[in-house]
Amino acid sequence: MSYQVYALRYAEKDLKECQFFFREASQAPLTLHYYLWVILGGPHPLVVDTGFAAAEAQRREARKWVSPAEMLARVGVKAAEVPVTLISHLHWDHWGGRGFFPGSQFWVQREELAFWTGVGGQYEVFRMFAIPESLAELVRLNYAGRVRLVEGEVEVLPGVTAHWVGGHTAGLQIVSVPTARGRVVLTSDASHYYRNIERRDPVQIVTSLPQMLRGFDRIDELAGASRLVVVGHDPEVARRFDEVEPGIVRIA
Ligand SMILES: [Zn+2]
């Protein structure tokens, strides 16, 4: 099976390098791009992450917000009809847009659910990255049969696999996709920028630094010779791959 993969940019935000990279003193500006990803060519479209809703864009001062559902529509996918959405992790910018997917089952690592409905709520350093209402909703969805808890490595579509790496969050998972160009690895926030993986340079937002570093190794192992690594928030994604229309980056 050979799949097509797109990164869809739906918002941007400006920060400084010292607010983001581990032990970084530089005040240089840093722009985050917000993406979700879609895998086409299988028995049904597979979406990776949900983005966030308009209210959250305002609260967190993200600009150029476009509805993730609108971005999916531009590649021919109706968000309301997507049957499976794989959730890399439960931070606000990856799980806040669950409402765009009323027909989806959400695949989440067991450890991720346990962390954010438990320890994550106990400390401000973690709380600031979550939306409590969205986590409460996750409990309701779970009781409605719409959450699939996965553990470790799992096949999501034929040949498409999700892999627990942890590090940035307790149950962070990355995705490996066979394509005509070779194997694509969607790292989500296992590597926010190319700088992270290419210099083994972590970010400040971690639950385990050793896991984050090991995650970089895992990404390299999965990508192998193809080097088709799609990181989570780097504007560089649109330059390394093909931005076919504003916000729509064709990976393979
Ligand atoms: Zn993120």
Tens digit of each residue's pLDDT (9 = 90 or more) over 89-139:
999 999 999 999 999 999 999 999 999 999 999 999 999 999 999 999 999
Q: How far apart are the first and last CA of the chain?
A: 13
Alpha helices in 75-208 (DSSP H): 92-95, 110-116, 124-127, 132-143, 194-199
Query: Residue 65 — φ and ψ, nearest 5°?
Result: -70, 130
> Does pLDDT of 158 surpass 80?
yes
> Does pLDDT of 157 surpass 80?
yes
Q: Which of 27, 11, 7, 9 is nearest to 19 (CA)?
A: 27
Q: How far is the CA of 145 from the centre of ligand 1 (A)?
A: 26
Q: What percent of the chain has pLDDT over 90?
A: 98
Read off the pLDDT of each residue in 44-58 and give the average, rounded to a whole number: 97
Q: How far is the CA of 10 from the centre of ligand 1 (A)?
A: 12
* 3-class DSSP state of 46: strand
* 3-class DSSP state of 104: coil
Average pLDDT, the chain: 97
Q: How far is the CA of 72 from the centre of ligand 1 (A)?
A: 18
Q: How far is the CA of 94 from the centre of ligand 1 (A)?
A: 6
pLDDT by residue (tens digit) across 202-237? 999 999 999 999 999 999 999 999 899 999 999 999
What's the CA gap between 223 and 67, in Å, rounded? 30
Do 159 and 202 meet the contact criterion of CB atoms below 8 Å apart? no
What's the CA gap between 123 and 136, in Å, rounded? 17
Q: How far is the CA of 172 from the centre of ligand 1 (A)?
A: 11
Tally of domains within the chain: 1
Neighbours of ion ligand 1 (CB under 5 A): 93, 189
For residues 236, 240, 246 and 247, what is the CA-based torsion angle, rounded to 10 degrees?
-60
In this prediction, residue 2 carries a pLDDT of 86
In this prediction, residue 226 carries a pLDDT of 86
Q: What is the domain range of residue 223?
A: 4-250
* CATH code, domain carrying 67: 3.60.15.10
Q: How far is the CA of 86 from the centre of ligand 1 (A)?
A: 14
- Residue 226 vs residue 153, higher pLDDT: 153
Do 223 and 178 meet the contact criterion of CB atoms below 8 Å apart? no
Beta carbons within 8 Å of 161's beta carbon, 6+ residues apart? 153, 154, 155, 175, 176
Q: What percent of the chain has pLDDT over 70?
A: 100
What's the CA gap between 10 and 80, in Å, rounded? 17
- DSSP secondary-structure letter at 190? T
What's the CA gap between 248 and 5, in Å, rounded? 10
pTM over 0.75: yes
